[in-house]
Copies of this chain bind each other. A is one copy, B any other.
Amino acid sequence: MADLRLPNDVFLDVFRGAATRELAPGEVLIHAGQPADQVFNIESGVLMLYRTGTDGRRQVLSFLFRDNFVGLSATDAYFFSVEAVTPARVVVCPRRVLNERLARDPAAEQAFLNMVFRVLEDILDVVYSLGQRTASERLAVFLLYLRHWKRLTDTIADDAHPSLGAVQVPMGREDIADFLGLKKETVSRSFRELEQAGLIHRLDSHTVRLDDLPRLRQLAGISDFASPRRLASALR
C-alpha cells in the first residue's frame, strides 16, 4: 500500500538510477492477480489503489502521492490494482532487489518495517471512518487528509501557512465516493453541506478552500492528521 517517505527511509536507495515509467490518467500500473515482482516509488502525480469485487463494486483503499512506496504484498501476487489519477511518473525496482537490500541491511529493514506500520495506522483511520462516521464527517476527514498530504509533499512545517488555504482535489467525485464508501451524488451533497455550514468554499470542482479548520477538525473527530504526534512521526 503506501506511505510517507521519511527523508531518511534508507531502503529507498534501491530506486537510485532505476527505470522510470510515465502514466497517463486512468492508466493501470498494477493489475490485481499479477505476479508481485516489482515495487514502485512515486516521483510525481497521484495514484489510486483499489480492489474490485466480482460484481463490479470497487473500494478505493488508498490514494498515493509523491514519495509513496507501492507494491507491498504478503504473497507472490498483487491482491489490489493501482492506477493513475493524474499524469504520474514512477520509479520501478524488482522486488528481488528490494528483498536482498532488506536482508543485507538491518537498518533498511527497520525503516521498511516502520513504513509498513505507518501504512497500517493510516488504514485503521479509514476503517474507523467507514464504520462510524457519517457522509459529511467522512468528507471532512478526507479534505484534511488531502491537506495533510499537500503539507507533507511540500514539506510545510507551519500549519497556518497561506499555501494551505486552498486544497487541490485531483480525483473525480466517483473516485472519492469509492474511497469513502458513498455514491458520487452523496459526495456532491456533502460538499454542499460543508459549504453551507461555512466550513469550506468550492472555488471550482477540484479546488476547495478550508475556511474553518477548527470546526472541520472537530467534525472529523479523532482523525486529525495535524495532531502533533502524527506529524512528528511523519516529518521526522
Point out residues on A near B: beta carbons under 8 Å.
1, 51, 53-55, 57-59, 61, 72-75, 77, 79-80, 103, 106, 109-110, 112-114, 116-121, 123-124, 126-128, 130-132, 178-181, 221-222, 229, 233
Contacts and interface: CB of A to CB of B under 8 A. Distances in A.
With most chain B CB atoms within 10 A of its CB, the pick from A77, A120, A124, A131 is: A131
A130 B60 CA distance: 12
Q: Considering the complex of A and B, which 10 residue pairs feature the smallest CB-CB distances, nearest first? A: A74-B117, A131-B181, A130-B130, A59-B131, A57-B132, A59-B128, A53-B221, A74-B118, A59-B132, A130-B131
Is the contact region of chain A dominated by helix, strand, or loop, or is it mixed?
helix
B120 A51 contact: no
A58 B221 CA distance: 12
Given A109-B113, A113-B112, A130 B181 contact: yes
A178 B130 CA distance: 11
Contacts of A61: 124, 127-128
B53 A128 contact: yes
Contact of A119 (B103, B120, B127): B120
A85 to B, nearest CB: 18
Number of copies: 2
A181 B130 CA distance: 7
A22 B84 CA distance: 50
Given A109-B106, A116-B117, A55 B221 contact: yes
Nearest to A126: B127
Contacts of A79: 121, 124
Given A59-B132, A130-B131, 17 more contacts: A1-B124, A51-B222, A53-B132, A57-B132, A57-B221, A59-B131, A72-B120, A74-B118, A79-B124, A103-B106, A109-B109, A113-B113, A116-B117, A130-B181, A131-B179, A131-B180, A132-B181
